[in-house]
Amino acid sequence: MEASPLTQQTRPETFKPKIVQLYENLFQTSDYPDPTEGFWREFFLLPPDPGKLSSILDQLSPDDTLNLQAQTQHLFTRAIKEAGSGASPTDSYALDTLTVFLASILKKKYTNPSSDVITVLAGLDEVDRVTSDFVAVLDGVIRNGKTFDLRLKAIKTATAMTSGAYKTSLVSYFTHRDLFPSLMKFVHESDTPIQVYEPFVLLGILANYNKFEFQNPYQLRLDDFVNEASIQKIVRGVGLSCGALRNGYVAVQDDIPEGWTLASTLIFFGLRALAPGARDRANPPTAEEAKEMFSALPAQEAAILLATYDFTNANKLFGYHLINLGPEKSNEEAPFSSFLSLASYLLQHAYRSLRVSHYAELSLFTLRILAEDPTLCKQLCSEDLKRKVRLCRQRQPHLPLVNGERVLATAIFDIVIDSITHNLRRRLDVNLYSHSVAILLRLLTYLSLNKIRLTYHWSELWRTLLSLMRFLTTYVSDLSNNPHINTLTNSLVDLIAFCVSAGDSFLPDPSSYDDLFYKLVETGPIIVKFRDVYNLAPSSKSDTMHPSNKDKHVAAIDTLIAVSNHFHALLFHDDKEKDKNVDPRPGTSDSPAPLPASRKKNLSPKEVHRMIKQGYDTLSIQPPDGLHAWTRWRESDWKTELKRSARFAVEDARLLVANV
The pLDDT tens digits of the residues spanning 61-76 come to 999 999 999 999 999 9
The reported pLDDT for the residue numbered 552 is 76
The 10s digit of each residue's pLDDT in 205-215 is 999 999 998 88
**Any bridge partners for residue 462, and if so which?**
none
The reported pLDDT for the residue numbered 507 is 93
The 10s digit of each residue's pLDDT in 529-548 is 999 999 876 655 444 434 44
Q: How far apart are the first and last CA of the chain?
A: 58
201 has a pLDDT exceeding 90: yes
Mean pLDDT of the chain: 86
In a domain, 525, yes or no: no
12 has a pLDDT exceeding 60: no
What is the number of structural domains in the chain? 2
32 has a pLDDT exceeding 90: no
In a domain, 296, yes or no: yes
The reported pLDDT for the residue numbered 544 is 43
Q: Which of 110, 137, 164 is the C-terminal boundary of a domain?
A: 164
Q: Are residues 192 and 245 in the same domain?
A: yes
Highest mean pLDDT: which range of 260-269, 568-577, 593-602, 605-614:
605-614
Among the residue ranges 1-5, 163-167, 187-191, 399-403, the one predicted with the least confidence is 1-5
In a domain, 59, yes or no: yes
- Average pLDDT on 348-356 reads 94
Q: Which of 132, 164, 196 is the C-terminal boundary of a domain?
A: 164
Among the residue ranges 216-220, 222-226, 599-603, the one predicted with the least confidence is 599-603
Cα(158)–Cα(99) distance, integer angstroms: 8
Cα(184)–Cα(190) distance, integer angstroms: 10
Q: Are residues 252 and 139 in the same domain?
A: no
The alpha carbon torsion through 64, 68, 69, 73 (nearest 10 deg) reads -130
Give how far Cα 348 sits from Cα of 185, 217, 353, Å.
Answer: 37, 36, 12
Q: pLDDT-based confidence at 620, cuts 50/70/90?
A: low
Identify the domain containing residue 300 by its residue range: 178-367+641-660
Q: pLDDT-based confidence at 270, cuts 50/70/90?
A: very low
- Average pLDDT on 24-31 reads 79
Q: pLDDT-based confidence at 276, cuts 50/70/90?
A: very low
Q: pLDDT-based confidence at 323, cuts 50/70/90?
A: very high
- Average pLDDT on 435-451 reads 96
The 10s digit of each residue's pLDDT in 156-196 is 999 999 999 998 999 999 999 999 999 999 999 998 888 99
Q: What is the DSSP string of 117-143?
A: HHHHHT-TTTHHHHHHHHHHHHHHHHH
- Average pLDDT on 136-148 reads 96
The reported pLDDT for the residue numbered 562 is 80
Q: Are residues 182 and 259 in the same domain?
A: yes
In a domain, 472, yes or no: no
Q: pLDDT-based confidence at 514, cuts 50/70/90?
A: confident
- Average pLDDT on 94-116 reads 95
Q: Are residues 193 and 77 in the same domain?
A: no
The reported pLDDT for the residue numbered 389 is 95
**Helix crossing, 50-58 with 18-26: angle to 10°?**
20
Q: Are residues 294 and 330 in the same domain?
A: yes
Q: Are residues 121 and 222 in the same domain?
A: no
In a domain, 524, yes or no: no
Per-residue H/E/C for 283-316: CCCCHHHHHHHHHCCCCHHHHHHHHHHHHHHHCH
The reported pLDDT for the residue numbered 593 is 45
Q: Are residues 29 and 117 in the same domain?
A: yes
Give how far Cα 339 sits from Cα of 176, 244, 322, 364, Å.
Answer: 33, 10, 9, 11
Cis peptide bond upstream of 89, omega within 30: yes
The reported pLDDT for the residue numbered 259 is 57
Q: Are residues 326 and 247 in the same domain?
A: yes
Among the residue ranges 133-137, 148-152, 314-318, 531-535, the one predicted with the least confidence is 531-535
- Average pLDDT on 326-330 reads 87
3-state secondary structure of 536: coil
| 8 A C-beta contact, residue 157 and residue 95 | yes
Cα(147)–Cα(141) distance, integer angstroms: 9
CA dihedral over 645, 646, 648, 649, signed as positive or negative:
positive
Q: Look up residue 262 and give its DSSP letter.
A: G
Q: Are residues 160 and 182 in the same domain?
A: no
Q: Are residues 214 and 122 in the same domain?
A: no
Among the residue ranges 257-266, 491-500, 534-543, the one predicted with the least confidence is 257-266
Q: pLDDT-based confidence at 271, cuts 50/70/90?
A: very low
In a domain, 378, yes or no: no
Q: Are residues 288 and 358 in the same domain?
A: yes
152 has a pLDDT exceeding 60: yes
In a domain, 553, yes or no: no
- Average pLDDT on 562-586 reads 55
The reported pLDDT for the residue numbered 330 is 79
Cα(87)–Cα(70) distance, integer angstroms: 26
Of 14, 18, 8, 644, whose CA–CA distance to 306 is shortest? Answer: 644
In a domain, 76, yes or no: yes
The reported pLDDT for the residue numbered 549 is 37
278 has a pLDDT exceeding 90: no
3-state secondary structure of 276: strand
Which percentage of the chain shows pLDDT scores above 90? Answer: 66
Q: Are residues 263 and 150 in the same domain?
A: no
Q: Which of 164, 195, 213 is the C-terminal boundary of a domain?
A: 164
- Average pLDDT on 576-581 reads 43
